[in-house]
Amino acid sequence: MLGQVFNEYRQMEKLSEDSLVQRLGCTPEVLQWLSLCMTPEGPDFEEQARAIADRFEVDLQKLAYVLRRVQVQLALSKPTRVQGVSIQLAARDREDEELFEDEFES
Q: Amino acid letter at 7? A: N
C-alpha–C-alpha distance, residues 60 and 31, integer Å: 14
Domain range list for the chain: 2-102
pTM score: 0.71
In this prediction, residue 53 carries a pLDDT of 97
**Mean pLDDT, the chain cut into blocks of 10 residues (106 residues total):** 95 94 96 96 94 96 95 80 58 52 51
C-alpha–C-alpha distance, residues 5 and 59, integer Å: 17
